[in-house]
Structure 1
Amino acid sequence: MKTALISDIHANREALTAVLDHARAQGADDFALLGDYVGYGSDPGWVIDQVRALRAAGAVVVAGNHDRSVAEGTHPTMHDDARQAIEWTRSRLDESQLRFLAELPLSDARHDCLYVHANAFDPAGFAYVQGRLEAMRSLHATECRYTFCGHMHEPMLYHLSGTGKAGDFRPQPGVAIPLLPNRQWLVIPGACGQPRDGNPAAGYALFDHDRGELTFQRVPYDVEAAVAALRAANGLPPALGERLAQRLILGR
């Protein structure tokens, strides 16, 4: 079985479309969606409907901080553009879409795998896994062999040996990584709709359960169309479109 691990879509229709098509072409027969379906982007309703359809087909779906903010109210630590995007998003969703976001769990554990948006030690606090210290804390908080989380917007892989030795490395797209069974693993697949590592291509990862292998993927998509949609959206901060456009320029 191959599971496509997708996080931080952020209402980016073009990126999600490209990632779903690519994952299916790679043989993905299952999906795990790690939160932040909304916020920043211009197509929140469309993205939520796709996520709902995947969940109805058996996908793992957990809530991110932007999803909770849309459903419950913005957090005081959010910067102004993010807060404005949350309010704009809420006004574009119907009751069933808002209810769907509100009812999503913060984490889901299945078959020795933990799926969560931010971390295992405090899913509701949405603290970032920024390095080995937070990764070790997260791995110590669960007995699951594999933890899959998003929130950081950059692909990363951490591991913890049976002797307590931690390691990390930045993966290369398209290279299969064997996840040795004598270690715990924390996987951050990167962002589908809002990458922040200098590469504008949409990010996700593919986990082959039978082979115990993980492959990080980058998928080019129509960034120009996503930027145009953001600029045309009445009420979203102009800086959001410019930020996505700038990442495209930096990635060239």
Structure 2
Amino acid sequence: MLIALLADLHANREAAEACLAHAARAGAGRTVFLGDLVGYGGDPAWMVDMVMAHMERGAVAVLGNHDEAAVKGPSEAMVPDARAAAEWTHAALSAAQRDFLAGLPLAVEDGACLYVHANAWAPERWGYINGASAAERSLKATDRRVTFCGHVHQPALYHLSPVGHASHFEPQPGALNPLGGRRRWLAIPGSVGQPRDGNPAACYALFDDATGVLTFHRVPYDHETAARKVLQAGLPPRLAARLREGT
């Protein structure tokens, strides 16, 4: 089955719709949402309702730190823009929508795959996989062959060598990446709703669980409309600028 992997959607309806449409055209039969459904963007209620509808049809979703903040309130570690967005998002969601977010699992094991927002070693503490050392720590914390996670807003691919050291690849959009069965892998599809690599196009990935081939994609979308919604909501202007700049 072809699985669509969407991480860090951040209440960006335009980006999510573009990626889901791209995945449907490619023939994806299942969708996995890797956390941070909300936060930063202007359409949190629509995003939660959309994910709920997909889960009724068999999708998987895990909890992200911004989802948690929208329910419980921002953490002390959050920067001011993120704190402001979390507080606004909490008020913009209904009690039922917040209850849905609160009920999301931190991680889901599905056959050879692990789905988690941040990492496998302590998913509730939201530590970043920002290099090979952290990837190695995460890979050694699970017995799943392939780990998919978000939290880091740039695409990345790591594998664990036979001697237990992680190596990093910078994936290219559209290139086929066979995840060989003799190695263990960790893939970060990048952010749907707030890319941070200088390219405003949305990021997501497709994984064929029959052939083991992973493909990263960049999908242009109407980021001007998404940015305008951020400003209309009264959220920090910097959050709108990030969508236009991809930073």
* TM-score of the two chains, using structure 1 as the length reference: 0.96
One-letter code of the match for 2:140?
A: H
Q: Residue in 2 aligned with 1:13?
A: 13
3-state SS of paired residue (2:85) = helix
Contact 2:154 2:196 in 1 (8 A): yes
Distance in 1, Cα, partners of 2:55 & 2:75: 27
Q: Residue in 1 aligned with 2:98?
A: 98
One-letter code of the match for 1:237?
A: P
Distance in 1, Cα, partners of 2:76 & 2:99: 22
One-letter code of the match for 1:95?
A: A
Distance in 1, Cα, partners of 2:134 & 2:17: 32
Q: Residue in 1 aligned with 2:199?
A: 199
Q: Residue in 2 aligned with 1:126?
A: 126
3-state SS of paired residue (2:152) = coil
Distance in 2, Cα, partners of 1:156 & 1:244: 20
Q: Residue in 2 aligned with 1:216?
A: 216
Q: Residue in 2 aligned with 1:246?
A: 245
Percent identity, please: 54
Distance in 1, Cα, partners of 2:59 & 2:176: 23
Total equivalences in the alignment: 247
Distance in 2, Cα, partners of 1:178 & 1:82: 36
Q: Residue in 2 aligned with 1:42?
A: 42
Q: Residue in 2 aligned with 1:176?
A: 176
| CA distances 1:103-123 after superposition (whole Å, capped 9, x unpaired) | 100000011100000000000
Shift of 1:141: 0.2
Shift of 1:239: 1.9
| CA distances 1:85-133 after superposition (whole Å, capped 9, x unpaired) | 1000011111110000001000000111000000000000000000000
Shift of 1:165: 3.5
Shift of 1:81: 0.9
Contact 1:64 1:118 in 2 (8 A): yes
Distance in 1, Cα, partners of 2:151 & 2:165: 24
One-letter code of the match for 1:100?
A: F
- Is there any run of 5+ residues in structure 1 with no aligned partner, and where? none
Distance in 1, Cα, partners of 2:124 & 2:48: 21
Contact 2:9 2:16 in 1 (8 A): yes
Computed over aligned residues only, the root mean square deviation of the Cα atoms, in angstroms, reads 1.0
One-letter code of the match for 2:195?
A: P
Distance in 2, Cα, partners of 1:132 & 1:18: 31
Shift of 1:229: 1.2
Shift of 1:231: 1.6
3-state SS of paired residue (2:76) = coil
Distance in 2, Cα, partners of 1:163 & 1:186: 16
Distance in 2, Cα, partners of 1:196 & 1:239: 13
Distance in 2, Cα, partners of 1:232 & 1:37: 20
Shift of 1:198: 1.1
Q: Residue in 1 aligned with 2:153?
A: 153
3-state SS of paired residue (1:50) = helix
Contact 2:198 2:245 in 1 (8 A): no
3-state SS of paired residue (1:239) = helix
Contact 1:161 1:182 in 2 (8 A): no
Q: Residue in 1 aligned with 2:59?
A: 59
Alignment of 1:78-93 (within 5 A): 78-93=78-93
Shift of 1:162: 2.7
Q: Residue in 2 aligned with 1:232?
A: 232
3-state SS of paired residue (2:124) = coil
Contact 2:199 2:245 in 1 (8 A): no
Shift of 1:22: 0.2
3-state SS of paired residue (1:124) = helix
- Is there any run of 5+ residues in structure 2 with no aligned partner, and where? none
